[in-house]
Amino acid sequence: MNLTLNHLSVGYGRHAVLADINAALQPSALTMLLGANGAGKSTLLRTIIGAQPPLAGSITIDGTDLAQLAPLERARLISVVLTARTGGGGLTVNELVAIGRHPHCGVFGRLSAADHQIIADAIHAVGLGHKAYSPIASLSDGERQKALIARALAQQTPIIILDEPTSFLDIAARFDIIELLSKMVTERQTTVLMSVHDITSSLPYSTHIWAIAQSQLHTGPTPEVIASGLLSTLFPNTAFNPTTLTFHRS
């Protein structure tokens, strides 16, 4: 499915953080959304997922305006993993992941045998099969993030959007999450858009980049964006080394 931003402006009240954006999310690709703190990454993602209305323009999937879709219809197209820590509210991993089936369960919300299989498959896909009935509160931060990704997998949407999914994680857990998302793209043809804070460890796994620089959204395949020198404009007083994929003081 093709998600497209059409002359989109996002922000708060009358203040546009980003204005007149035109971009298309590459299907079956891992796209990283990059930019400095305050550049508008989270605002853009919140607008795409419907958490706040656009100031102007539209967001379409295969030509259908997302604003015209009912919440359940939208939930069958886009699943979301936010950056906030979750205590799990007393839920087990299985119960949390089962929430992902809600858009498919009809008015009574009953899970079929097929739903239970999809839930089990999602839990095993993220490597938490041995903790399926463990309380979320008992998991490490990395395991909790995997459980949230499993919930998105169980939702079976063609598009998954994540807001800094590796925040709060140690370096090993960050690699686990990024490798998991990359595997989802290659094996399930899922379209993934994620904002990242730790660019250096995430960038090698990306196929495409959306980068916010000087209040503009620049997009393209990862090698082309790196070669353009754009990444050296993302942060004040820094430069990007395209060989080592690291930032340094300029």
Phi, psi of 201 (to 5 degrees): -80, -20
Helix ranges (DSSP H) in the chain: 41-48, 71-75, 93-98, 113-125, 141-155, 171-188, 199-202, 222-228
Round to whole Å and give the CA distance between 3 and 83.
22
Instruction: Tell me what pLDDT residue 233 has.
Output: 92
Helix ranges (DSSP H) in 159-246: 171-188, 199-202, 222-228
Nearest to 177 by CA among 157, 155, 188, 192: 192
Length of the chain: 250
Strand partners, 238: 249
How many Å separate Cα 84 from the centre of its chain?
Answer: 13
Superfamily of domain 1-77+158-250: P-loop containing nucleotide triphosphate hydrolases (3.40.50.300)
Instruction: Tell me what pLDDT residue 198 has.
Output: 83
How many Å separate Cα 243 from the centre of its chain?
Answer: 26
Measure the CA dihedral 188/194/199/201, to 10°.
Answer: -30
Instruction: Tell me what pLDDT residue 153 has.
Output: 96
Instruction: Tell me what pLDDT residue 250 has.
Output: 81
pLDDT in tens, 139-161: 999 999 999 999 999 999 999 99
H/E stretch holding 9 reads strand 3-12
Instruction: Tell me what pLDDT residue 87 has.
Output: 63
Strand partners, 65: 60
Instruction: Tell me what pLDDT residue 84 has.
Output: 63
**Consecutive 10-residue averages of pLDDT for the chain (250 residues):** 95 93 96 94 95 96 93 94 73 96 81 95 96 94 93 96 90 91 94 91 94 94 95 91 89
Amino acid 138 reads S
What is each CA distance from 237 to 31, 202, 214, 245, 249, in whole angstroms? 25, 22, 14, 17, 6
Q: Where do the domains of the chain lie?
A: 1-77+158-250, 84-156
